[in-house]
Structure 1
Amino acid sequence: MTTSTRPLRIGNISASRADRATATAEFLAASTLDVVALDMLSDEAMLDLAAQRADGGPGYERTAVVQLRECLDLLGAVGGTRGGAGGNRGGAGNVGGGPGKSGDDDNTGVRVVTNAGALDPEGLAHELRALARESGIDLPVACVVSGEVTDRASELGLGEVDVATVRHGAFGIARALADGAVVVVTGRVSREALVTGAAAAHHGWTHSALDALAGSVAVGHVLSGGPGATGVVDSSTDVTRTTDPVTGGYPIAEISGDGSAVITRHPSAFGSVTVGTVTDQLLDGVAGARYAAPDVVLRLDSVRLAQEGTDRVRLSGARGEPAPPVVAVVGMGRAEGELRPRRVARPLPQGEAGHVVVLPGGARENVPVPGETAPIGPGELPTPWTPSAVPGGAGVSTQLGSVASVRRGVVGRGVNIAVWTWDDSAFAWLAGEFTSERLRELVGALDGMEVRRYPLPNLRAVNFVARPPRGVAPVAGLGAELASARLEVPGELLEYGP
């Protein structure tokens, strides 16, 4: 995959076992993409696959095989030949290539990055190569080892869990794509890594490109929520998405060389892409004003969103800080009677993460750790902000949801509750009204929990992070009732809407 001066066009799709076999092929045939991120793993899926492997089955998601079988002709042709003909394919099946592609790229066809490898990426990679050979195609498939550490869970401080993995970052994926891989299979990498790895390969970024990497992390965070970015579903962290893969609102991003991007949607998809839908997804599962990915720390307070056109939102301004010195090791289990998996995370030094990529030719390489790391700074940042005038008018009793939106997500052993609005004047009221004390008044289940408040003026949001005492699980659905809470707001505020 050669570096390019044009934007990377990458789409997100999450297929499930219940989907028709042709869903991914339909998604690709109706769009023009360079890369598709086939994001197939939730906490529930990881636990299911661990149980499946314990019963003698594969440790990877075979749905990926079912889906990719139907779209082999749409995949990148570099290194992949059919019937010995060789060369690059053109014509109608040339998704992401052909005349519409600028001359600085020789590659045609879409590439696939997928976390469907789960606990055995090498096993899935082997099956995909065999599948392609049956069709007369030599398909370059690479993989990033799963980083499974279940047998070390106690040693790493995770306790008794059913499965534990290291959340690797983006540069194993980037190395594989740069080496010519058409399909890259990973395990449960960090949330944004599929997108960031593809962008790093496309634009030739190194670990020092902090701002560009940070921008792609923000984009990857938005795309990882699938239909949440188009307002089709309230897709919170790690909830398996079950809407139709083609019409169900899956997003697309056009990522430029500086890390800025336009978020849009699949042409056949329901929903719409607005500053509101992107804001809502961007605030899912974030702690404070710094969002730590394995390769860079995103200054969330620096991100700006603007409506560029119908179903087109520009994301820009992202600032990056050096990568953290540690990555996350995440253990998961399900206690009897619990509906959702129990998750516990611990830090692991970057140098001990065992980040290895297996290239299409079979060579195994250790993925270098970032050359510069730094401890993650405090969540609070001195964000310059001059508030607009607070709306006036007589106070009116109304539900919070009539003047603002609420986004909830999972943050480590706690939750984040973000309240955001769509107008600078409305945010001036929101920033003054929503203190930690006010949140406690409106959400009674916060009693006994630590609550921290982080204003994010660029996003017109106030983000709260609530953590229960160690060893105590947070209340299920914490904050779900906040949007319906009644409070008194300035009458002029009711003139604003999303």
Structure 2
Amino acid sequence: MSAPAAPLRIGNASGFYGDRFDAVREMLTGGELDVLTGDYLAELTMLILGRDRLKDPAAGYARTFLRQLEDCLGLAHERGVRIVTNAGGLNPAGLAAAVRKLAERLGIPVRVAHVEGDDLTAEHPGSLAAHAYLGGFGITACLREGADVVVTGRVTDAALVTGPAAAHFGWGPTDHDRLAGAVVAGHVLECGTQATGGNYAFFRDGDVRRPGFPLAELHEDGSCVITKHDGTGGFVDVGTVTAQLLYETGGARYAGPDVTARLDTVRLGRQGPDRVRIEGVRGEAPPPTLKVGLNKLGGFRNEVVFVLTGLDVEDKAALVREQMTDALAKSPPAQVRWELARTDRSDADTEETASALLRLVVRDPDQQTVGRALSGAAIELALASYPGFHVVAPPGKGAPYGVFEAVHVPQAAVAHAAVLDDGRRIPVPGAPDTRVLDDVPDPVLPDPLPPGPTRRAPLGRVAGARSGDKGGNANVGVWARTDDAWRWLAHELTADRFRELMPESAPLTVVRHVLPNLRALNFVVEGILGEGVASQARFDPQAKALGEWLRSRHLDIPESLL
């Protein structure tokens, strides 16, 4: 029998386009690595890159990555660290060519490959960008052929880990459990410092002023240890890993193009300071279809925020609303939305805390309708409306906004390919076996806590949460830190109770998923984000703080937990 392959150390240096610039150098100099990944893409990023490409057909990739490589490509080459990134965005071939040109100028002998086949824009007329979420085996093919740098377009975030793992360990497409373990590791790494204390409900548990970026020590059986370089900020514990596992997921089946990972099989355990072991992950054949993200321009939007100070806030809001409605009637926008945020306090000792904010947002296919009309109507009220009239900022001329839609296509509809440094193309076939997704039976809940005295307190005193966006839906993952808290949470926080605590979700479909191994509940709120983040349908368009709002709501909590 051959000896098992050495663990693969995969680090991440970017969770989004605009993340910490110095992270690439920090990860390369902070400790041992085999592979360094960078995740630059999100639904909103694809729209931004699509607009870049409209201005310049040679654009469409994350320019920041190229500047980071200029600083660190030599360092990666010296240390033998391979780099895998989705920074290619809408133009992976263009970024790969730019990296080769950079390497030649710097005198660094590296082989650069890229992955393509995700671009389906031509098949979806009217879309600014339409891209399928590819799996990791295109990356695998590039690495097996000796690539030092692999650039992709739209792949799943976890593919940046499954691809290198399959190349290193020799996995094939039917190694479902191993691939599922890598998917879970990739999902923990993909958002960078969110795994090391960033944006964490219990942030006071450690020093998170400058969290280090995470890495996974991945083993041949698909298990891994999540950690970070010694001496870097932040912290890794079961809670930080749980929070990231719940981020932007749904039920027990976490589907992807390579494998469907069963999140209800994940087991976490502390292995030491800043070390959390993930094991037990089971996988199933992936779905027969691939998700395609359609990004379109939805029209133009404009907004103005009126400041209402002191007494009679509701009456002041009613007055200016009536005035603006009359003024806009001459050329009414297609959509008009008002929101009054009662940020004011009675008998406040500062003017700011004595003020409420009334936000007016308008949308229309015509820029002039949302621009000149809104600006004129708002400014003309400067001396003719409620006492103390002023606005946060004058309205502009209106800006374009995007909408996001997810559709699905058969795996065979995508020409997934690895393009090597010498120009050779290697076709990447779809999954050899697939499985249509179906619901997982509801797990058995723990026994409820015995009756006892309760106290009114915020949910966040006994539970953590993390929330995010998937198209027009939001997810809110909630987890308990102790077994007793889980026994209470599993029975108390039903979908109906969630709607009570989150009135905004009351008219919407709310689906609750139970993940006992993580002592967690995952709520999917359908349609709360309208047509996606780029449409900016609500105050918090990506639902980033929806979980913290939930944690601030008060319930009758057993005193034994407090």
TM-score, normalised via structure 1 length:
0.84
* Partners of 1:408 and 1:35 in 2: CA distance: 29
Deviation of 1:468 (Å):
3.0
Q: Give yes or no for the alignment of 1:216 onto 2:182.
A: yes
TM-superposed CA distance for 1:187, in Å, is 0.6
Q: Tell me if structure 1 keeps the 8 A contact 2:442–2:514.
A: no
Residue aligned with 2:44, SS: helix
In structure 2, the residue matched to 1:138 is: 109
What one-letter code is carried by the residue in structure 1 that aligns with 2:230? P
Consecutive unaligned residues of structure 1, counting only runs of 5 or more, are: 77-92, 95-108, 155-159, 236-242
Contact map agreement 1:391 1:429 (CA 8 A) in 2 = no
Distance in 2 (CA, whole Å) between partners of 1:228 and 1:467 is 24
Deviations along 1:367-417, one digit per CA (max 9) or x if unpaired, are 011111110121x3354x572562654111100000101221223431212
Tell me the residue number matched to 2:118: 147
Alpha-carbon shift at residue 138 of structure 1 (Å): 2.6
Residue 334 of structure 1, CA deviation: 5.2
Whether the aligned pair in 2 keeps the contact of 1:75 and 1:182 (CA below 8 Å) is no
Q: Tell me if 1:251 matches 2:217.
A: no
Displacement after TM superposition at 1:249 (Å): 2.8
Note closer, same or farther for the CA distance 1:14–1:471 as it changes in structure 2 (3 Å cut).
closer
Equivalent pair of 1:60/1:118 in contact (CA under 8 Å): yes
1:84 corresponds to: none
| Corresponding residue to 1:381 among 441, 447, 450 | 441
Bigger CA radius of gyration: 2
Please say if residues 252 and 263 of structure 1, whose CA atoms lie closer than 8 Å, have aligned partners that are also in contact: yes
How far is the alpha carbon of 1:434 from its aligned partner?
1.2
The equivalences for 1:264-343 within 5 A come to 264-333=227-296, 335=298, 336-337=300-301, 341-343=402-404
Local SS of the residue matching 2:154: coil
Tell me by how many angstroms 1:21 deviates. 6.7
- Distance verdict in 2 for CA 1:17–1:262, change over 3 Å: closer
CA distance in 2 between counterparts of 1:125 and 1:258 reads: 32
Which of 288-297 and 389-398 deviates more? 389-398
Q: Is the 8 A contact 1:15 1:23 kept in 2?
A: no
Displacement after TM superposition at 1:55 (Å): 1.4
Distance 1:278 1:184, change over 3 A: same
**Secondary structure in structure 1 of the residue aligned to 2:269:** strand
Query: C-alpha displacement at 1:30, in angstroms?
Result: 1.8
**What displacement does 1:360 show?**
2.5
> Match for residue 171 of structure 1?
137
The equivalences for 1:367-406 within 5 A come to 367-378=428-439, 380-383=440-443, 385=444, 387=446, 390=449, 393-406=452-465
**8 Å CA contact retained: 1:36, 1:113:** yes
Question: Does the CA-based 8 Å contact 1:404-1:421 persist in structure 2?
Answer: yes
Say what the alpha-carbon RMSD is for the aligned residues: 2.6
1:426 shift after superposition: 1.0
Structure 2: where are the runs of 5+ without partners? 202-207, 303-398
**Amino acid of the structure 2 residue aligned with 1:68:** L
Between the aligned partners of 2:556 and 2:18, the Cα distance in structure 1 is 46
Q: Partners in 1 of 2:108 and 2:213 — Cα distance?
A: 29
The one-character-per-residue Cα deviations of 1:317-347 (angstroms, maximum 9, x if unpaired) are: 1010101101111012454338985321100
Q: Is the 8 A contact 2:474 2:528 kept in 1?
A: no
Which residue of 415, 432, 436 maps to 1:354?
415
Counterpart of 1:492 in structure 2 is: 560
Q: What pairs up with 1:409-488 in 2 under 5 angstroms? A: 409-468=468-527, 476-477=539-540, 479-480=546-547, 481-488=549-556
Q: Higher mean Cα deviation, 59-68 or 188-197?
A: 59-68
Give the drift of 1:133. 1.7
User: Is the 2:62–2:87 Cα contact (8 Å) retained in structure 1?
Assistant: yes
Tell me by how many angstroms 1:26 deviates. Answer: 3.6
- Of 348-357 and 443-452, deviating more is 443-452
Shift of 1:22: 5.6
How many residue pairs get aligned? The number is 446
Change in Cα spacing, 1:491 to 1:40, as seen in structure 2 (3 Å) is same
Give the secondary-structure state (helix, strand or coil) at the position aligned to 1:144.
strand
User: CA distance change for structure 1 residues 21 and 447 in 2, over 3 Å: closer, same or farther?
Assistant: closer
Query: Judging changes above 3 Å, is the alpha-carbon distance between structure 1 residues 416 and 386 closer, same or farther for their aligned structure 2 residues?
Result: closer
Cα–Cα, structure 1 residues 399 and 149, in superposed 2: closer, same or farther, change >3 Å? same
8 A contact 2:16–2:39 mirrored in 1:
no
Q: CA deviation at 1:248?
A: 3.7
User: 2:301 aligns to what SS in structure 1?
Assistant: coil
Going from structure 1 to structure 2, the CA distance change for 1:396 and 1:20 (only over 3 Å counts) comes to closer
Contact 2:17 2:45 in 1 (8 A): no
Aligned pair in 2 of structure 1 residues 424, 117: CA closer, same or farther (>3 Å)? same
1:73 matched to 2:74? The reply is: yes
Shift of 1:18: 6.7
Per-residue CA deviation, residues 160-189 of structure 1 (Å, 9 max, x unaligned), is 442221111100001111111110000121
Q: Normalising by the residue count of structure 2, what TM-score does the alignment of the two structures yield?
A: 0.74
TM alignment of 1:31-46, pairs within 5 A? 31-46=31-46
Cα distance, 1:268 vs structure 2: 4.4
Instruction: Determine the structure 2 residue equivalent to 1:52.
Output: 52
Equivalent residue number for residue 157 of structure 1: none
Measured in 2, the distance between the counterparts of 1:471 and 1:457 equals 31
Say whether the 8 Å CA contact 2:448–2:491 is kept in structure 1. Answer: no
Larger helix proportion, structure 1 or 2? 2
